[in-house]
Amino acid sequence: MSSIFILYTGGTFGMKKTKKGLVPSSWDEIINYLPAFKNQNYFDSFKQIDFTYEALEPVVDSSDMNPESWNKIAEIIYKNYDDYHGFIIIHGTDTLAYTASALSFMFNNLDKPIVLTGSQLPIFHPRTDGIVNLSNAIYIAGHKSFEIDCIPEVCICFNDDVLRGNRSIKVSTNDFEGFSSPNFENLAYLEQNITLNHNLIYRGDKEKFGLQPKFSNNVVNVTVFPGYNPSALIDIVRNQKIEGIVLKTFGAGNLPKTSQWQDLIEACEKNKTIIFATTQCPNGRIEIGQYASSETLQSTCVVSGKDITSEAALTKLMWVIGNYPYEERHDILSQNIRGEMT
């Protein structure tokens, strides 16, 4: 028998129509639309899966997710960790990749699957993708009942894909294949036959499972564009309003050749502000030094994000600043600590 803990947080999966637009429903309203979960049906009777359901209070549209929400989710999983074989988080799609990335950094040495899923159409819609997505998530979380190898990671199960959570991005607002992992192959394919890429599955050290829940809000996410003037950003750094910047550069790490960018670097060096440099391109990686235009970034205050996603870069920076002193941040940011970059 497998035991699975399902946490419903809100999002499109459980949305219902109101005069103000779509709003999250309660779990009691949703369960009636999930016939495979009712007593004496497939998952209960034939596969002997024991389900526990809980709803985040309050359930929210995922645009309202924040570090406090991530901590609530993590604490619920941490409290119940020893009692279940796997966990499923039903989540809105807009910030699902952020939550998956954040949770991956918060948990040390996972040895059980934490699966995030959701849907593009509400469960009340006749063509909903929610039933398939949740059913597929159950196969991953309840791996023991289906004789599937364990994926001890925070992952996203959407459509027929199982993706590493901190490698995933939302790529569509309406396609049922709403998520992609542009720089990393699927952990599993949930087609007629389930196929796992065993060699890609990330396994932590054999140390004790733990939780590091702190995040810093003293960060900004800056996208460089033609004509961008970083003077306002320089002022923020000099006034010590922030501790970290995710800088989304052109291509492989390029910046305009203007003196203001060097001024920004000098301000960051002086005020102990870390720049986590990434590329704007969904696919590919940053290579500081490949082009002369990236010369400005060759500084002790700059860390290369390599092929990390924007969502993982931001949550990792927030998490590192929240949990480690300045002297350790550069080293930890540059490491691949949860399979988030290569």
Amino acid present at 225: F
| Predicted pLDDT at 32 | 82
| Predicted pLDDT at 166 | 98
Of 17-26, 82-91, 178-187, where does mean pLDDT reach its minimum? Answer: 17-26
Backbone angles phi, psi at 307, to 5 degrees: -110, 25
What is the total residue count of the chain? 342
Query: Would you call 279 a catalytic residue per the annotation?
Result: no
CB 293 within 8 A of CB 263: no
| Predicted pLDDT at 139 | 94
pLDDT digits (tens, 9 = 90+) for 151-204: 999 999 999 999 999 999 999 999 999 999 999 999 999 999 999 999 999 987
What is the arithmetic mean of pLDDT over 6-24? 92
pLDDT above 70 for 249: yes
Cα atoms found within 13 Å of the Cα of residue 255, Cβ hemisphere only: 25
Structural domains of the chain sorted by starting position, each given as residue range(s) with its CATH number in brackets: 2-211 (3.40.50.1170), 219-334 (3.40.50.40)
What is the arithmetic mean of pLDDT over 260-284? 97
CB within 8 A of 262, min separation 6: which ones? 296
pLDDT above 70 for 335: yes
| Predicted pLDDT at 39 | 57
| Predicted pLDDT at 44 | 67
pLDDT band at 45; cut points 50, 70, 90: low
pLDDT above 70 for 40: no
Q: pLDDT above 70 covers what percent of the chain?
A: 97
| Predicted pLDDT at 273 | 98
| Predicted pLDDT at 132 | 94
pLDDT above 90 for 48: no
pLDDT band at 105; cut points 50, 70, 90: very high
| Predicted pLDDT at 243 | 98
The Cα 97–Cα 327 span in angstroms is 29
Amino acid present at 182: P
Q: pLDDT above 90 covers what percent of the chain?
A: 87
pTM here? 0.96
Of 26-30, 65-69, 322-326, where does mean pLDDT reach its minimum? Answer: 26-30
Catalytic position from the list 9, 12, 95, 279 = 12
What is the arithmetic mean of pLDDT over 23-35? 86
CB within 8 A of 200, min separation 6: which ones? 164, 184, 185, 187
What is the arithmetic mean of pLDDT over 49-59? 92
What is the arithmetic mean of pLDDT over 49-69? 94
Question: For the chain, first and last CA: distance in Å?
Answer: 37
pLDDT digits (tens, 9 = 90+) for 196-208: 999 999 987 778 9
What is the arithmetic mean of pLDDT over 241-261? 97
Evaluate the CA torsion angle 90, 93, 94, 96 in order and state its sign.
Answer: positive
| Predicted pLDDT at 47 | 73
The Cα 161–Cα 179 span in angstroms is 9
| CA 214 from centroid of its chain's CA atoms | 16
